[in-house]
Amino acid sequence: MPTQVNPQTAEKVITDGLIEVGAEPAEISREATFESLDVDSLDLVEIAQIVEDEFGVELIGDDVQNLKTVGDVIDMVVAKAS
């Protein structure tokens, strides 16, 4: 059963995913851009898979390509889960 989605759980899962793909933990914040974290499109696909596995929320290519910051992803995951 997928984990209940709220901003805090989404932020933790996404932050853990970013660390897994090589982002520096100290640089991760809601305002951090993927560019500043050196996260590329392949990394975002991996994070989207983690989100789907954890929450059952599917982020498709069009969703992901418009996301610029960590906060954007958190907000989208919470919105799609409700």
Whether 10 contacts 76, CB under 8 Å? no
Q: Which amino acid is at 35?
A: E
Residues labelled as active-site residues: 40
